[in-house]
Chain A
Amino acid sequence: MSTSTAPTEAPAEQVAASTAPPRKVRGRGERSRAASLASHGVLTLASLVALFPVAWLVYLSLGPDKNDYLHPGRIWSKMTFDNYAFVLQDTNFFDWLKSSLIVSLGTTVIGVMVAATTGYAVSRMRFPGYKKLMWVLLVTQMFPIAVLIVPMYQILSKLQLIDNYFGLILVYCSTAVPYCAWLLKGYFDTIPFEIDEAGRVDGLTPFGTFFRLILPLARPGLAVAGFYSFITAFGEVAFASTFMLSDTKYTFAVGLQSFVSEHDAQRNLMAATAVLVAIPVSAFFYLVQKNLVTGLTAGGTKG
């Protein structure tokens, strides 16, 4: 409700003034002071709840001792960036960064490239098997990791791809590719069909229309699909912790767990690493979050 309320307010006030004792009549979209306060109250509370666990993690990461999370009051007096220095210099942080980036970017590139044409085909063309394909794309969203993880493990170990970046990328593609196709269909649906018609009238083949006209227009959609598969691959835990065995090849999701072993829990280092991972990812996320939802729900509502 973003329309201005001024025009509707004036006549309402006159009517009210003529019939009843002078009383403030509210226009559309305006609320009483109490309702406004209540809204602010609820939103502030919700914001605090949303913010607190993350802020707490940041705060704990400044405490030098590994048990500081149990008596946080003591951190105030001895705040230090030592944890960060240690994580960056003396752990496998950069190895993990490298693995995470290789795996996530690999998944993103393959996912988007392979999925783009399909997204276009399902958006524009009706062919026998169309419904089945849409159904398959939806069903792949439902695969619990338990269905694929055992067979994948066996297949990959036969191919010697366990503890191998490429193996993990392949595994992630099984979810990323259908997902990107789904997202991209939603985005292509928002590009007017007249553009395709114009291209066809000018003598382009469907492929030509797709590559020369639609792909350049769909750049934001491609970015969203790419970002989504990046995030999904980046945050995946189960496959990564099963298929990556050597600690220099861990992704962050696995590496972070390695701070807590049975004997020793270096929670301060864990907190620092978590913050180092979370900040760039969240920053990036904020740039695209609005588009994410459009892409995601558009695909579903029209499917």
Chain B
Amino acid sequence: MTVSGVILTVLLCAAAGLTLYRILRGPAVLDRVIATDVLLAVVVAAIAAEAAFSRDATALPVLVVLSILGFVGSVGVARLGSSTAEPDTAASAAAGQSDTDPAALNVPTHGGRS
């Protein structure tokens, strides 16, 4: 059991290291976003493996939080962190692509200063 724990740790640490290299040297923001998603998956895997090897279920709610949080972060960066402006939707609407309307997601909120 100890040997398998060492093997698992080495594999996960190598994966996290390669992913961190891509986060450092990603040419675009989106490269860093997908690498961060992979890093989050590796962290979730490491916490689950630790819970399995120690037979201790204390850290399992952390996994739920992490699996939601990574999704929110990557979607936010994909929506707002892309360094270019959103294209106008006239051409895509003219092509009959009303279901792929990017303006449906950023409806301006009138008022709502809470």
Bind each other: no
Measured CB to CB, the residues of B under 8 A from A are none
